[in-house]
Chain A
Amino acid sequence: METLSRVHARSLVAWARDKPKAVVLSADLTSSCEADAFRDAFPDRFFSMGVAEQNMLSFAAGLAREGFLPLVHTFAVFIYRRAFDQVAMSVAYANLPVKMFGFLPGITTPGGATHQAVEDVALMRTLPNMTVLETGDATEVESVLDVAASVPGPVYVRMLRGELPRLFPAAEPLRLDQPRVLSRGKDLTILSSGLCTEEALPAVALLKSRGVAVEHLHLSTLKPCNHPAILQALAQPKYGVLTLENHLVTGGLGSIAAEKIAENGLGVKLCRLGLQDTFAHGASKGYLMREYGLDALALVRAAEQAVKTDLNIRAEDLAQMRVETVPSEAKPEDL
C-alpha cells in the first residue's frame, strides 16, 4: 500500500490556485497544520492570527459574511474547546461558510490531554447548521477540500497530517454523506471512522477468514449521517454492531449508531469501542490505541464476544496482515 507525506500541504495549494476567495487562517501552527506551502504560494491570502483562536473564529465569520471562504487551520482542541462560543454564535448560528480544519484528532498526538481532541465530534455534531467530516486516509485528505467547499454552511473537519496511507483508491474521493462499504456480510456489522479504519481492515480480513461474515462501513461524514446504507447495515447483523472510533464513545460514531438503532427500533446489540469516559495521556499513537482499546486486536476481541466464539486470532496474526488499498464493495452512486 502506498504511503504519502504532507498530503494536505500539496493538495491545499493545488486546490486553492483557481479559488481567489479562499483564504487561509492559522493560529501560529502553520507548519504543524501543513498550511506552510499555501502561505508561501499565496502570501496575500494567508493570515497569521497568532495564538488567539477566539478572534480567529469571529474574524473568519466576518470574512465569510463579506464573501470570502476562510479555511481555519489549527489543532482541533483549540477550535472547539477554546473558541466554542465563537464557533457556535459567530459561525454556526450565522450559518457562514467557515471551513475549520482541526488537526490532531483523538490520540493522534503524544501531546497529552491538552492536545488530544477526544470530544470534538460530540460537541460539533450538536451544533445546528454544522457539517462534521472526518478523514481516514490520503485520498480523503486530498478530496475533503472539495466536499467542505461544496457545503454552503460551516464545516468542521477532523484532519490528518504527516505520513498517510492510501486506504481508498484515488479515484474514489470522499463524498458527503456517502459511507464506504468495505466488506459485506450479515453476521456482524462494524462501523469505523478516521484512522480507526486502518486498524479495522486487518481485523475484518481475519474475522472473515475465520468464517464471520462482516459488513464493514467506513464513515467519513458524521453529520449529516442519513445514507440508507448505514441503516441497512445496522438492521441486518445476526450478532450485533461494533463501532470503532478515535474519540470518546459518547457523542461520536458510537452514539450515532445507538441513536439510529434506538430510533428505528432495530433492537440489535451494540458495542462501542473508543475512549471510555476517560481523557488519554501523552504517548505514541500505537501505544495509546492499544492502551485504550482502539486497535485491531480490541476489535477482534469485541467481535469474538459478540459471536460468542474464540476465533483463535492472536496479535501476531494481525501484525502479519498487510493492508492493501481497498476499493468500495459498491460504487458510491449505487449506495
Chain B
Amino acid sequence: MAIYDRFLSLTSPQAPERDRFILSKGHAALALYSTLYLKGVLSAEQLNSFLEPGTLLGVHPERQIPGIDFTTGSLGHGLSMGAGAALAARLQESQRRVVALLSDGECNEGSVWEAMMFAAQHRLANLTAIVDANGQQAFGRTRDVLNTEPLGDRWKLFGWDVQEVDGHDLDQLTNALQREGERPKAIVARTVFGKGVSYMEGQIAWNYLPMTEVQYRQALQEVG
C-alpha cells in the first residue's frame, strides 16, 4: 500500500504513462487485491469474490484483473519482465517507472540473478526491485533452506544501487523509493513475517494456514 500511496503514479489502470508494478512474489496477491480495492481500482464486490466460483481473483494475480499488468506466481519471472518493461519505457522515451516486488526466498531462483546482470549492464535506472526480506520461505527459514544473505551486498556486487531499510518504516521505504540514481535500484526491506499479529510473527506455519474466526478477530484487534 505504501508503494502505491507514496511512489507509484497511477492515474488510472489504463493510462499509458502510469508506473508499472509487478508483484513478482505473486503469492502475496491478497495484499495486492486489498491495495487495489483501497485505491478504488477493484470494487468491494470484486474483492469479496476471492476464490469464489467464476472469480478472476485467485491465489496468484492474473493480468486480466484491473490494475494488474503482469501475471505472476511462478517465482523468478517478475524482475525479467520488469527489465523488459523498463527497457520498453526507455525505447519509447517515456518517464514511467517500473517497480518489482520480490521476496528473499525468491532470490533462490537463478533467473533473478540473470535479470540483475542484465538490468545493471543496461543501467535501467527506471527499474526498482524491492526485496521483501522476511528471512522465511515456504517451509523454513531462508538461511536454512538456501541462504540468500548477505542480500544487500550481493545485489551491490551485481551492479545495483542498494539501500537496506526497515520494511515496516514507511518513511524509510518512501525515501529509498524516491532516491534518484543512474543505476537500477534495489531496496532490501527487512520485514518480520506476520508483523503485528502476535501468534503469527515469525511463525512459518502461517505461510499456508487459514485463520479461525477467533484468530481473525484477534488479528484485527492487534493490528488496530
Partners in one complex: yes
Which residues of A are at the interface with B, using a C-beta cutoff of 8 A?
23, 44, 47, 49-50, 52, 54-68, 70, 85-86, 89-90, 93-94
When distances are taken between beta carbons in the complex, the residues of chain B under 8 Å from A47 are 87
Bound Cα distance A116, B106 (Å): 31
Interface stretch, picked from B67-75, B163-171, B192-200, B204-212, is: B67-75
A54/B111 in contact, CB under 8 A: yes
B76/A59 in contact, CB under 8 A: no
Residues 92 to 127 of chain B near chain A (Cβ within 8 Å): 92, 110-111, 114-115, 117-118
Q: Does B83 contact A (CB under 8 A)?
A: yes
B73/A66 in contact, CB under 8 A: no
B88/A94 in contact, CB under 8 A: no
B118/A54 in contact, CB under 8 A: no
Contact-residue bracket for chain B: 20 to 34
- Chain B 54-76: CB-based contact to A (< 8 A → 1; otherwise 0): 00000000010000011101101
Bound Cα distance A60, B115 (Å): 12
Bound Cα distance A70, B111 (Å): 19
Residue of A nearest to B82 (CB): A62
When distances are taken between beta carbons in the complex, the residues of chain B under 8 Å from A89 are 71, 73-74, 77
- Centre residue among B71, B78, B117 by max chain A CB count within 10 A: B71
B71/A59 in contact, CB under 8 A: no
Given contacts A59-B118, A62-B83, contact A86 B88 (CB under 8 A): no
When distances are taken between beta carbons in the complex, the residues of chain B under 8 Å from A57 are 80
B77/A68 in contact, CB under 8 A: no
Residue of B nearest to A66 (CB): B88
A54/B114 in contact, CB under 8 A: yes
Known pairs A55-B80, A58-B81, A68-B91 / 4 extra A-B pairs, C-beta < 8 Å: A52-B114, A62-B88, A65-B85, A89-B71
B69/A65 in contact, CB under 8 A: yes
Given contacts A65-B70, A86-B111, A94-B71, contact A58 B92 (CB under 8 A): no
- What's the nearest-Cβ distance from chain A to residue B210, in Å? 26
When distances are taken between beta carbons in the complex, the residues of chain B under 8 Å from A44 are 91
- What's the nearest-Cβ distance from chain A to residue B107, in Å? 14
- What's the nearest-Cβ distance from chain A to residue B56, in Å? 14
Bound Cα distance A64, B69 (Å): 12
- What's the nearest-Cβ distance from chain B to residue A38, in Å? 16
When distances are taken between beta carbons in the complex, the residues of chain A under 8 Å from B81 are 58-59, 61-62, 65, 90
